[in-house]
Amino acid sequence: MAGLPTTARVVIIGGGVVGASSLYHLCKAGWTDCVLLEKNELTSGSTWHAAGNVPTFSSSWSLMNMQRYSTELYRGLAEAVDYPMNYHVTGSLRLAHTKERMQEFQRAKGMGRYQGMDIDVVGLDEIKRRYPFIETHELKGALYDPSDGDIDPAQLTQALAKGARDMGAKIIRFCPVTGVRRENDEWVVATPQGEIRCEIVVNAAGYRAAEVGKMFGREVPMMVMSHQYILFEEIPELAAWSKEQGKKLPLLRDVDTSYYLRQEKTGMNLGPYERNCRAHWATHNDPMPEDFSFQLFPDDLDRLEHYLADAVARVPILGTAGLSKVINGPIPYAPDGNPLIGPMPGVPNAFEACVFTFGIAQGGGAGKVLAEWVTQGQTEWDMWSCDPRRFTSFASAPDYCVAKGMEIYGNEYAIQFPRHAWPEGRNRKLSPLHDRIKALGGRFDAYNGWERATWYAKPGDDTSEESTLTFRRDGPWQHRVREECLAVRDAAGILDLPGFSRFNLEGPGAADWLALQVTGLVPKPGRIGLVYFSDDKGRIVTEMSVVRHGEDQMTLITAAVAQWHDFEWLKSRMPAGEVFTLTDRTEAYSTQILAGPNSRKILAEVCAADLALPWLTHQETTIAGRWAKLVRVSFAGELGWEIHSKVADTATVFDAVWSAGQNHGLKPFGMYALDSLRLEKGYRAWKGDLSTDYSILQGGLERFVKWDKPDFRGKAALLNEKQQGVKKRFVTLVVEDPSDCDAPYMSTLWHDGRIVGETTSGGWGHRIDKSIALGMLRADLAEPGTPVEVEIFGDRFKAVVQKDEPLWDPKNERLRA
Ligand SMILES: Cc1cc2nc3c(=O)[nH]c(=O)nc-3n(C[C@H](O)[C@H](O)[C@H](O)COP(=O)(O)OP(=O)(O)OC[C@H]3O[C@@H](n4cnc5c(N)ncnc54)[C@H](O)[C@@H]3O)c2cc1C
């Protein structure tokens, strides 16, 4: 056994597939002075017993990217590192029982083809042709993915480990990390074999990631489920077929029933995600044992019975097979089911690559992403879906993690519908107005844990969860959302926006420093302005509103979900010694949006503020005797103000405004209406339209770039891109003769039979009565009037490129009124 080195550049804690892949990719990036420490033997966590399925399917663009990369890596890995392994690329059939499932498949096919994969949606005959043993009752069709398959997880891990060792990395087994401490800007990692000093640490401890996280003072949002599969003995018909055909059956996933069925040698492997699932190590009475290496939970066949019966009816030869083994192992879940890959929140030079529920399928891609984070501080693809900072502190509460983990596990294959609010883990953070909003009919969803109204129902409206399980635009909310939008257009609307992230930046030099961080101008005192942050490659990191109170005193406001990400982006770039300060004040204030032509009249009745002050100004005032800040902006695209108040005063302020508004047609409006209103203005949404997948120039944000500033982050890259010319460009499209669904994120755009771009968001604009899509289009086609086609759930619709101005109120006259 190799001895423990005393120093390394990077230490990875955990030798499952993800730790090994991270090590391999760091070495590939030239960082070979890396050490992986494993508590027991490589693979002894979740990896050794994984079924080894390697799907590419996902409804998330970034997860699909990561999984696609894995399949490409695994195909060449054995040869690349000279380590033979069993990787069967069998293809898979993902079965659909419903029209909505077929829509989901059509969308995945569109995304998959855009990523260069040959995914297809097939009918019953084709299912039968590819899978002769199947019964097709209750089926509508299937998604065929030729690159799906299964790999031996232990061999995969060993292959990655060998590749890394061959490049110079060290792997120390039977070496548990027992603690870490910070000394002289270095990490000291303690183990029973001694200490090791390093620059960077990676937590790749799988289902033990929370335990390792605690060593850093970090509460990892996660829980552990038990997950089972059953192995069956040889099935003679299957053995004969396989021999004759010289191949295995494609992997079958009955996602509506919630299981997969895979040929395993000449038998089968059945793996359900049970609705009646079980969490482990979730209470004080059931602590995680100190060591669970290479161990399993007892079989729990009762939970599997329903799925077994269903699978036998679907593939009757399974009914003839004897059961040979049950594998029931620990599998970690984050509260949204995606892994954590990226900077460890609040901890310098530490990263996470843990809490994987599909670590075999995602391990290859995860190693690439982690290595990019470590070596470059940024990733090729926008990886917000896996960024640990997408969860803030509330999400680490054990009861929240257990509730969400069980919900996701039991619905692992569920379709993600745009208007469906998952019911578990709710009411974590309530607005001071929550009861009032509820009494007005508010239907809620959680935004970084904050409950916000999505729409307002009236008595008799269908507010059932079932009614939201659709991709159709015209659910029960639609006519109410329309009423809300028209109230904002014709009179006034008020939207309660708790949890708007806000940071105070103040102290000598703060404004000068901020000017270097943003592409454009920091607004003058008394003004508010939108600023964009670019990375070194010129890509869009984030957008914030700057409310400048004084020379070096300002509040930066950003999306609720961006709270930790944006705070850290700023904080980690502040100069050492900190002559100015950055403070998170999100919890101290609340915001309401008042918008519409009557909003001035309403405010005039409740405060003495100068309401003639122009657009993009702000002022302090009192409403009902309480301090408030009026900021004259409107994401809704009408005359309007944001009303910021202290949390304790928000209800009083709201009551005064609401009461004055009753004579002026004031109505409450929700997040769905706001989304519709902002689409008509072409305002971008965070991590849809605005992401590191696009540069500031591609995003059509050049008006927020001040080229003659001496310097700003990303300037060189952006100047270079400007000289070369952008390859794709942000456009607003109007979909003509639209279907009954609007374009979801990442719908492909077609021209002359070729894919020429993608949508970044879409929806119905009620003020213009049109289906709108925002997206990225090949630059030469981004001319107003150009017709393209947008693929919405498999069908293509004509869409026309619009002028580079808002569809509603193009000259912003209503905003400036
Ligand atoms: C029954 C079952 C079937 C599955 N099937 C599939 C499948 O078909 N496809 C798929 O993609 N995924 C599958 N999974 C999930 C998959 O197993 C995991 O996502 C994956 O193995 C996670 O890999 P990892 O490297 O993150 O974690 P792990 O494999 O758990 O590795 C973490 C390692 O960290 C080590 N460690 C922990 N604490 C310390 C410490 N203090 N010091 C040093 N080392 C430490 C552990 O010993 C362990 O080896 C399945 C899971 C189960 C339970």
Comparing CA positions, the residue from 768, 770, 728, 721 lying closest to residue 748 is 728
pLDDT digits (tens, 9 = 90+) for 568-577: 999 999 998 8
Hey, what amino acid is at 541? Answer: V
| C-alpha span between 48 and 66 (Å, rounded) | 21
Distance 153 CA to ligand 1 centre (A): 10
* Ligand 1 within 6 A of CB of 49: yes
Residue 1: pLDDT above 60?
no
| C-alpha span between 111 and 59 (Å, rounded) | 8
Q: Which atom of ligand 1 is nearest to the CA of 206?
A: 27
pLDDT digits (tens, 9 = 90+) for 583-622: 999 999 999 999 999 999 999 999 999 999 999 999 999 9
* Ligand 1 within 6 A of CB of 212: yes
User: Would you give the distance in Å from CA 1 to the centre of its chain?
Assistant: 41
Task: Please report how many Cα atoms fall inside a 13 Å half-sphere around the Cα of residue 335, on the Cβ side.
Answer: 26
C-alpha triplet 547, 552, 558: angle, nearest 5°: 30
| C-alpha span between 521 and 532 (Å, rounded) | 9
C-alpha triplet 472, 477, 480: angle, nearest 5°: 135
User: Is 654 within 8 Å of 593 (Cβ atoms)?
Assistant: no
Residue 715: pLDDT above 90?
yes
Q: How confident is the model at residue 258 (pLDDT cuts 50, 70, 90)?
A: very high
Per-residue pLDDT, 2: 62
Distance 629 CA to ligand 1 centre (A): 50
* Ligand 1 within 6 A of CB of 213: no
Q: Which atom of ligand 1 is nearest to the CA of 17?
A: 25
Hey, what amino acid is at 699? Answer: G
Report the pLDDT averaged over residues 268-279: 95
| C-alpha span between 636 and 639 (Å, rounded) | 9
User: Is 817 within 8 Å of 639 (Cβ atoms)?
Assistant: yes
Q: Which atom of ligand 1 is nearest to the CA of 40?
A: 47
Token output for 596: 């519409």
Instruction: Write the residue with the smallest CA distance to atom 33 of ligand 1.
Output: 14
Residue 245: exposure state from Cβ atoms within 10 A (0-12, 13-18, ≥19): exposed
Residue 476: pLDDT above 60?
yes
Residue 711: exposure state from Cβ atoms within 10 A (0-12, 13-18, ≥19): exposed
| C-alpha span between 647 and 430 (Å, rounded) | 11
Query: What share of the chain has pLDDT > 90, as a percent?
Result: 98
User: Would you give the distance in Å from CA 489 to the centre of its chain?
Assistant: 32
| C-alpha span between 280 and 634 (Å, rounded) | 47
Backbone phi, psi, residue 243, to 5°: -65, -45
* Residue 273: C-alpha distances to residues 61, 253, 359, 414, 741 (Å): 23, 11, 16, 11, 30
Q: Which residues face 201 on adjacent strands?
A: 11, 350
Instruction: Write the residue with the smallest CA distance to atom 22 of ligand 1.
Output: 359
* Ligand 1 within 6 A of CB of 177: yes
CB-based contacts of 59, cutoff 8 Å, min separation 6: 104, 107, 108, 415, 416
Per-residue pLDDT, 540: 98
| C-alpha span between 566 and 578 (Å, rounded) | 18
* Ligand 1 within 6 A of CB of 227: yes
User: Is 690 within 8 Å of 700 (Cβ atoms)?
Assistant: no
| 589-595, strands of its sheet edge to edge | 618-623, 626-631, 640-646, 589-595, 492-497, 666-668
* Ligand 1 within 6 A of CB of 40: yes
pLDDT digits (tens, 9 = 90+) for 538-556: 999 999 999 999 999 999 9
Residue 9: exposure state from Cβ atoms within 10 A (0-12, 13-18, ≥19): middle
* Ligand 1 within 6 A of CB of 45: yes
Pocket test residue of 46, 220, 352 for ligand 1, highest count of atoms within 8 A of CB: 46
Backbone phi, psi, residue 322, to 5°: -85, 150
> What is the Rg, in whole angstroms, of the alpha carbon atoms belonging to the chain?
27
| C-alpha span between 534 and 692 (Å, rounded) | 9
Q: Which atom of ligand 1 is nearest to the CA of 19?
A: 25
Token output for 526: 């008394």
* Ligand 1 within 6 A of CB of 47: yes
Task: Please tell me the chain's helix, strand, coil percentages from 3-state DSSP, rounded to the nearest 5.
Answer: 30, 30, 40
User: Is 324 within 8 Å of 270 (Cβ atoms)?
Assistant: no
- What is the β-pairing status of strands 194-203 and 7-13? parallel
User: Is 405 within 8 Å of 564 (Cβ atoms)?
Assistant: no
Backbone phi, psi, residue 107, to 5°: -70, -45
Q: Which atom of ligand 1 is nearest to the CA of 207?
A: 30
Pocket test residue of 355, 356, 409 for ligand 1, highest count of atoms within 8 A of CB: 356
Q: How confident is the model at residue 269 (pLDDT cuts 50, 70, 90)?
A: very high
pLDDT digits (tens, 9 = 90+) for 199-227: 999 999 999 999 999 999 999 999 999 99
Pocket test residue of 24, 43, 47 for ligand 1, highest count of atoms within 8 A of CB: 47
**Which stretches does DSSP call E strand in 477-579?**
492-497, 501-506, 528-534, 540-550, 553-558
Distance 267 CA to ligand 1 centre (A): 25
Distance 354 CA to ligand 1 centre (A): 9
**Helix axis angle, 61-81 to 153-167, nearest 10°:** 70
Per-residue pLDDT, 737: 79
Pocket test residue of 274, 291, 331 for ligand 1, highest count of atoms within 8 A of CB: 331
pLDDT digits (tens, 9 = 90+) for 152-179: 999 999 999 999 999 999 999 999 999 9
3-state SS assignment for residue 333: strand
Per-residue pLDDT, 436: 98
Token output for 383: 């990886």
Distance 250 CA to ligand 1 centre (A): 25
Q: Which atom of ligand 1 is nearest to the CA of 43?
A: 49
User: Is 201 within 8 Å of 7 (Cβ atoms)?
Assistant: no
Token output for 425: 């883990």
* Ligand 1 within 6 A of CB of 361: yes
**Helix axis angle, 359-376 to 153-167, nearest 10°:** 20
pLDDT digits (tens, 9 = 90+) for 309-360: 999 999 999 999 999 999 999 999 999 999 999 999 999 999 999 999 999 9
Report the pLDDT averaged over residues 82-99: 97
| 528-534, strands of its sheet edge to edge | 528-534, 540-550, 553-558, 501-506, 581-584
Query: What share of the chain has pLDDT > 70, as a percent?
Result: 100
Distance 206 CA to ligand 1 centre (A): 5
Token output for 273: 């995600």
Roughly how many angstroms between the first and final C-alpha of the chain, as a whole number? 76
Residue 578: pLDDT above 90?
no
* Ligand 1 within 6 A of CB of 356: yes
DSSP per residue, 199-238 = EEEEE--GGGHHHHHHHTT-----EEEEEEEEEE---HHH
Per-residue pLDDT, 739: 79
Per-residue pLDDT, 108: 97
| C-alpha span between 498 and 445 (Å, rounded) | 12
Report the pLDDT averaged over residues 64-90: 97
**Helix axis angle, 359-376 to 17-28, nearest 10°:** 40
| 348, 350, 356, 361 alpha-carbon torsion, rounded to 10° | 120
Tokens 């755009």 appear where?
A: 749
Distance 409 CA to ligand 1 centre (A): 16
* Ligand 1 within 6 A of CB of 15: yes
* Ligand 1 within 6 A of CB of 52: yes
Q: How high is the mean pLDDT of the chain?
A: 97
| C-alpha span between 408 and 337 (Å, rounded) | 6
C-alpha triplet 390, 398, 587: angle, nearest 5°: 50
Global pTM reads: 0.97
* Ligand 1 within 6 A of CB of 333: no
